[in-house]
Structure 1
Amino acid sequence: MDDLPDLSKGFVRISVRLPAGESYTPGEVAKIANVALDQLGPIVVAPAEALVDVRYETGRQARINLERLGPAKLVGWEWQWLKIGIGRNHGLSMGQLKKIMQTADAMPLGKISINNTHTLVGLQDFKLPSVIARLSQLRINGYSARPESLPPGKGPGNPAFAPNAR
């Protein structure tokens, strides 16, 4: 996959894991993406993965459509766990957590796990330092948030949200 050109301005790159034993052409992948041809950039298909460049405006639609082939994700978006020292025992609810994360400019969120004593939230790695800085001064239900990032590989599985993943 080294033969793919640099990402053009205004485009995002989507990686799709292809089903085992099936082969696709770039044209078939473009058809499944279901976006206008002027919205597409280069498409590279390897035996197990396809990389598709699409304009930013249609990236979400293309990613949703490409999910029919297999798990799709934006390339360059790595996820990491954020641990917050507030949990159900402190009165934290899912709605309250989402409002707090919106205020901290942490959207979009990955997986969320609210435990009794702490909460784990999947965040994009480039947003992690600013979110930790904002949350470190915050008190939630009278308790200090005490945010910290978990090292890559720590925590319960992949912090990225994947529909229908268990």
Structure 2
Amino acid sequence: MAEAIKQIRKEIPTPEQEQSQAIADIIAALASNREAIISTIGIIKHLQDMGVLDALNGLLEKRVDVGAIAIQQINQPGMHNMIKNGMNTIKFLGQLNPDELQIMLDGVSRGLEKLGERIDKNEKVSLWQLGNSVRNEEVRTSLFTMLGLLEGMGEVFQRDKRELH
């Protein structure tokens, strides 16, 4: 019959054994990720050549001073307005239908091209030509679109004016 186990010995590695195991793990990781490590070293070399690492090191050394300056700049009233405007712009873009926005931006882009062509030709437009342009279907469509834009803006302006009073 087997003898009962009375004492369990736990093997505790020595600091030298832990260090050699850690080195072995690091070497194994380096070997299995060779291409990524070489690419990373190349990126770091380029950053060093450009002076980016020196600038980052300087920023880190002066982080308290840089942080104080950044806080001072953020506390400027103009910066508050800029942050609010940025947030409102993001909110506005989130409300837009991407397809409708793309159509509008394409129209603005084409309109700017036409404007550039007319400026290059240095054409003078008479009142008669201006009046006749209303017969052009593209001009009428654009005017109708602009009228819708103006109407919607007017509704919001009047609503906000009533809410203020």
* TM bracket, shorter-chain basis: under 0.3
TM-score normalised by length of structure 1: 0.20
TM-score normalised by length of structure 2: 0.20
Higher RCO structure, 1 or 2 (CA under 8 Å, sep 6+): 1
More strand as a share of residues: 1
